[in-house]
């Protein structure tokens, strides 16, 4: 079973603003990119015999979400994104040190023995004015959002 935590900033996101400005002002997407947002996505693999996965998600969020400046939504086994934008999930091909250390912290220090794996990625939410928004999102991902030597991306449908 997989618990997914979508985490975003309550405060202005400087990185998202920089990416948006770069795409619009320097890369020629001013007529295509209406808006852009960013979320972190934690996908946490847990034992299938967990009785209440949403309660467990809340406990995991206490460690993974800074509630002073972040909000989150938890889901089990699927991720549902709102309509109106193209979500582009960016993850690492190489070993993710932060995900490995988070797994070790959850299991060894905090006692979450039911946690089997942790994956971390970024979801860029692209609001696009295009006849083919998926193609535009792929182009943006390949030109700016990923480093092909270490990252992969997926258009989440």
Q: pLDDT 10s per residue in the chain (157 long)?
A: 999 999 999 999 999 999 999 999 999 999 999 999 999 999 999 999 999 999 999 999 999 999 999 999 999 999 999 999 999 999 999 999 999 999 999 999 999 999 999 999 999 999 999 999 999 999 999 999 999 999 999 999 7
pLDDT tens for 42-68 read 999 999 999 999 999 999 999 999 999
Tell me how many domains the chain contains. Answer: 1
CATH code, domain carrying 122: 3.30.1280.10
Contact in structure between 76 and 39 (CB atoms under 8 Å): no
Q: Which residue has the tokens 């535009």?
A: 136
DSSP 27: S
Distances in Å between the alpha carbon of 38 and those of 106, 115, 123? Answer: 25, 26, 6
The pLDDT of residue 152: 97
pTM of this prediction?
0.94
The pLDDT of residue 157: 78
Checking DSSP bridges between strand 86-92 and strand 151-155, what pairing results, if any? antiparallel
Query: From the centroid of its chain, how far is CA 134?
Result: 18
Owning domain of residue 128: 2-155
């Amino acid at each position: 079973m997989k618990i997914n935590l979508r985490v975003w900033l309550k405060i202005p996101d400087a990185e998202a603003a920089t990416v948006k400005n770069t795409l619009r002002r320097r890369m020629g997407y001013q007529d295509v990119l209406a808006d852009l947002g960013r979320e972190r996505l934690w996908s946490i693999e847990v034992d299938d015999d967990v009785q209440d996965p949403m309660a467990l998600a809340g406990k995991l969020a206490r460690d993974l979400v800074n509630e002073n400046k972040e909000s989150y939504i938890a889901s089990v086994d699927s991720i549902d994104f709102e309509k109106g934008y193209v979500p582009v999930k960016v993850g690492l091909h190489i070993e993710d040190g932060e995900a490995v250390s988070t797994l070790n912290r959850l299991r060894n220090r905090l006692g979450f023995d039911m946690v089997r794996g942790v994956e971390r990625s970024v979801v860029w939410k692209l609001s696009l004015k295009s006849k083919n928004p998926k193609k535009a999102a792929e182009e943006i991902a390949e030109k700016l959002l990923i480093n092909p030597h270490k990252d992969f991306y997926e258009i989440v449908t």
